[in-house]
Chains A and B, each alone.
Chain A
Amino acid sequence: MQQILIALVTMGVGIAGCIAYFWGSNFLLDVIFPAYGKNATHNLRRSSAIRPWLFMGPVIIILTIYLVYPVVNSIYLSFHGSSGEEFIGLDNYIWLFSDEKFIESMGNNLLWLVIVPAASTLFGLLAAALTDRIKWGNIAKSLIFMPMAISFIGASIIWKFIYDYRGEGDEQIGLLNAIVVAFGGEPQAWITIPFWNSILLMIILIWIQTGFAMVILSAALRGISEETIEAAVLDGASPLQIFFKIKVPQIYGTIAVVWTTITILVLKVFDIVLAMTNGQWGSQVLANYMFDWMFRGHDFGRSATIALIIMILVLPVMIWNVSNARKDV
């Protein structure tokens, strides 16, 4: 309880500090350049040139330290050895591309990149189309959306329980094996079967992300103008034709946004793999591999290099985002 109190006090201090900063700096600015007297216009121009920087200041400083500097520093570290001290040129990169685990991670990441965004978007579209047409649509939406509130690690426990394996002959308490046995199959230790274990881990992320895709796609579907649909109905199009030929093409833009958002998430996925397999049995991915080299390998150079690879993979999406935003500004 005392701890929460400390947290609350800190929060209070933090907020008070923020307010003191913003209020204080604005007050000072008004004192230094008063908007009256003989230099009023001059002062007003000065203060309105400075004020935006007071408002922006904390964000610029924090983002520079926490996001911009690390990018630069990671590039620096990737040319240095395990402690980050001695310069070793391209050795980290050379090591990386001949490292089996890295190649495995790249392969798995590509698999994740293809399957997870595709499946989540597809299920999201399906869920959006279905729930928009039923009376209990809002409840259905809530329930499909719910996994989004669950942590990756919590979700991992939920699904690890489903994939649980008991020796043959024992009663299976994992849902998947119970179903397999009910249909006369043999129970499997799913998590240890290469390739399929990656698919099973992907299912967890798909389960989490479908709700996100559904919410956004459903809003986009509802935004389609009625006229195009009515015209199609008059022309005798079937509901399926209307959906795939009239509605879906009109929301391609939104589908792209959903797809890329999930793509970025996939590149950073780490918790699920760490909790389920920790990269064993051929299921390693980049983010977890980087974590591995950071905490178990204690090699700053190598893990920074892996982080840079993730960054490079994200880059196309970043450029696309930025060019979209430029149109907006």
Chain B
Amino acid sequence: MDNIAGKSSLLSWVVNVSALILVLLWTIPTFGLLISSLRDKDQLASSGWWTSLTSVERNLIERSAAPDEQVEKDGVYMLSGNVFKNGGEITAFGWSSKKPNGFEPNVVAEMRNGQTMSVATDGSYQLTSPKPFTGSRGKRIFIRSIEDPKFTLANYSEVLFAEGLGQSFLNTMTVTIPATVIPILIAAFAAYALAWMEFPGRAILLVTIVGLLVVPLQMSLIPLLRLYTNIGIGKDYIGIWMAHTAFGLPLAVFLLRNYIAGLPREIIESAKVDGASDFDIFLKIILPLSFPALASFAIFQFLWVWNDLLVATVFLPNTEETLVMTGRLREMLGSLGGNWEILTASAFVSIFVPLIVFFSLQRYLVRGLLSGSVKGG
């Protein structure tokens, strides 16, 4: 196939550029989130993340100190201070909305009634007046300023420690680890039985499990919730572990059976001839050989449980102590809709672990996908 593409350099150029565009389209959203989560809170709220590397030049309207802070010196009333809270550089200023950028920094601008205004490059200003300043609010100062790009980890420390995401991270771990490991074991035995043991009803069982693969989760929630209440399990970790185990089982059995059924018959039969029991064969031969399939399922299940919101919402109480990360993100979206520094940092914390798992174990994930979809049903 490569040689076909190679024959025409124009075609190969088009292919490369199109692929690049596609990749950019698919990565930019996540990239934007990452960049935004590292930006200074005020800058994040006032300019797009794509401008984050350039100094931001902005027109702002600030106010001087209020008249009650004025100082009199030799019959001249003065108000002074600094327009910047976080530093920056003034490129122009003005005192009326008609000419907001009318004066260079450090120039003394004449205002009405003999008043003057002067703003220095570093943002410090001085207003003078022959008569006392009146009113309750300070004078408006129109400035044009350049702010250096600022990056910080403050957003992360805030979400982890002040917003309770740290606790949620632990809760998610608590849900995910057992809910990933337990189904593997149960499913592996069943997969072996379905692949290599003879018993009546085997075909029906397998077909039933394939059918259960697509049963919508929504279906199970209400009956299970009622069942849990009736037998008194309540909303606890054990309930959610079992639920995730059950919801993962059809896929686990299906994937593992496909793989185990594909193992060479000779190995298993020669072991049987040597007098090994099914249990021994399973433990000593099947389990080690099926490692790739076990790993594939483990990754699926891990990602699924880690990213799940629905099951956690239904089976865990919505309290500070048990809220998982997805649940926390949902709450934040509701209550902190505009606080993008919190949302972006929290979202990144929640996708960080799955991304690591994804990039380090992608091989197994792909293999699992292929064995589940291309060969089987």
Residues on A facing B (Cβ under 8 Å): 1, 3-4, 6-8, 10-11, 14-15, 18-19, 22-23, 26, 30, 48-49, 51-53, 55-56, 58-60, 62-63, 65-71, 73-74, 77, 84, 123, 126-127, 130-134, 137, 140, 142-154, 156-162, 164, 171-175, 178, 207, 210-212, 215-216, 219-220, 229, 233, 239, 242, 254, 257-258, 261, 264, 267-268, 270-271, 274-275, 287, 290-291, 294-295, 300, 303-304, 306-308, 310-311, 314, 317-318, 321-322, 324-326, 328-329
Task: Tell me the nearest residue of chain A to B244, going by C-beta.
Answer: A66
Instruction: Chain B residues near A207: list those with CB within 8 A.
Output: 26, 29
Interface secondary structure of A, over-half rule: helix
Q: What 1/0 flags go to B212-238 for Cβ under 8 Å of A?
A: 111111111111101100000000011
A147 to B347: give the CA distance in the assembly, Å: 13
- Of the candidates A67, A220, A295, the one whose C-beta lies within 8 Å of that of B215 is A67
A126 to B205: give the CA distance in the assembly, Å: 38
A153 to B310: give the CA distance in the assembly, Å: 11
The yes or no answer to B77 lying at the interface (CB within 8 A) is no
Instruction: Chain B residues near A160: list those with CB within 8 A.
Output: 333, 343
Do B214 and A70 touch across chains, with their CB atoms under 8 A apart? no
A145 to B178: give the CA distance in the assembly, Å: 26
A238 to B203: give the CA distance in the assembly, Å: 47
CB distance from A324 to the nearest CB of B (A): 4
CB distance from A23 to the nearest CB of B (A): 7
Residues on B facing A (Cβ under 8 Å): 1-2, 4-5, 8, 11-12, 15-16, 18-19, 22-23, 26-30, 32-33, 36, 44-50, 170-171, 173-175, 177-178, 181-182, 185-187, 189-190, 192-194, 197-199, 202-203, 205-207, 209-224, 226-227, 237-238, 241-243, 245-247, 249-250, 253, 277-279, 282, 303, 306-310, 313-314, 326, 329-330, 333, 340, 343-344, 346-347, 350-351, 354-355, 357-359, 362, 366, 369-370, 373-374, 376-377
Task: Tell me the nearest residue of chain A to B185, going by C-beta.
Answer: A18
Do A149 and B218 touch across chains, with their CB atoms under 8 A apart? no
A161 to B204: give the CA distance in the assembly, Å: 48
A326 to B226: give the CA distance in the assembly, Å: 35
Do B333 and A15 touch across chains, with their CB atoms under 8 A apart? no
Instruction: Chain B residues near A268: list those with CB within 8 A.
Output: 216-218
Question: When A55-B190, A151-B306 are in contact, do A307 and B5 touch as well, CB less than 8 Å?
Answer: no
A23 to B221: give the CA distance in the assembly, Å: 33
Task: Tell me the nearest residue of chain A to B181, going by C-beta.
Answer: A11
CB distance from A114 to the nearest CB of B (A): 19
A36 to B18: give the CA distance in the assembly, Å: 70
Residue of B33, B250, B346 with most partner-chain A CB within 10 A? B33
Question: When A30-B277, A300-B222, A321-B377 are in contact, do A145 and B186 touch as well, CB less than 8 Å?
Answer: no
Instruction: Chain B residues near A148: list those with CB within 8 A.
Output: 303, 358
Question: When A74-B223, A127-B22 are in contact, do A66 and B241 touch as well, CB less than 8 Å?
Answer: no
A58 to B184: give the CA distance in the assembly, Å: 12
- Of the candidates B45, B226, B238, B278, the one whose C-beta lies within 8 Å of that of A51 is B278
Task: Tell me the nearest residue of chain A to B355, going by C-beta.
Answer: A149
Question: When A59-B249, A314-B214 are in contact, do A149 and B354 touch as well, CB less than 8 Å?
Answer: yes
Do A328 and B174 touch across chains, with their CB atoms under 8 A apart? no
Do A210 and B203 touch across chains, with their CB atoms under 8 A apart? no
A66 to B205: give the CA distance in the assembly, Å: 16
Task: Tell me the nearest residue of chain B to A254, going by C-beta.
Answer: B374
Task: Tell me the nearest residue of chain B to A271, going by C-beta.
Answer: B309
Instruction: Chain B residues near A52: list those with CB within 8 A.
Output: 193, 197-199, 202
Do A7 and B174 touch across chains, with their CB atoms under 8 A apart? yes
A-B pairs, 7 with minimum CB distance: A66-B246, A151-B307, A149-B358, A324-B377, A55-B193, A73-B223, A70-B223
Do A215 and B199 touch across chains, with their CB atoms under 8 A apart? no
CB distance from B96 to the nearest CB of A (A): 19
A119 to B304: give the CA distance in the assembly, Å: 23
Residue of A53, A140, A149, A311 with most partner-chain B CB within 10 A? A149
Do A130 and B310 touch across chains, with their CB atoms under 8 A apart? no
CB distance from B202 to the nearest CB of A (A): 8
Do B26 and A150 touch across chains, with their CB atoms under 8 A apart? no
- Of the candidates B48, B218, B227, B354, the one whose C-beta lies within 8 Å of that of A178 is B48
A48 to B215: give the CA distance in the assembly, Å: 32
Instruction: Chain A residues near B329: list those with CB within 8 A.
Output: 151, 153-154, 157, 275
CB distance from A72 to the nearest CB of B (A): 8
Task: Tell me the nearest residue of chain A to B304, going by C-beta.
Answer: A151
A203 to B323: give the CA distance in the assembly, Å: 28
A11 to B174: give the CA distance in the assembly, Å: 10
Do B12 and A56 touch across chains, with their CB atoms under 8 A apart? no
Do B214 and A62 touch across chains, with their CB atoms under 8 A apart? no
Extra contacts, 5 of them, besides A158-B32, A174-B48, A275-B329 (Cβ < 8 A), are A52-B202, A151-B308, A151-B329, A314-B216, A326-B207
Do B199 and A239 touch across chains, with their CB atoms under 8 A apart? no
Do B177 and A71 touch across chains, with their CB atoms under 8 A apart? no
Instruction: Chain B residues near A70: list those with CB within 8 A.
Output: 219-224
Instruction: Chain A residues near B44: list those with CB within 8 A.
Output: 173
A258 to B49: give the CA distance in the assembly, Å: 35
A–B complex contacts, Cβ < 8 Å, 12 sampled:
A3-B174, A7-B174, A18-B186, A52-B197, A71-B215, A134-B16, A146-B355, A154-B351, A207-B26, A258-B373, A275-B329, A326-B203
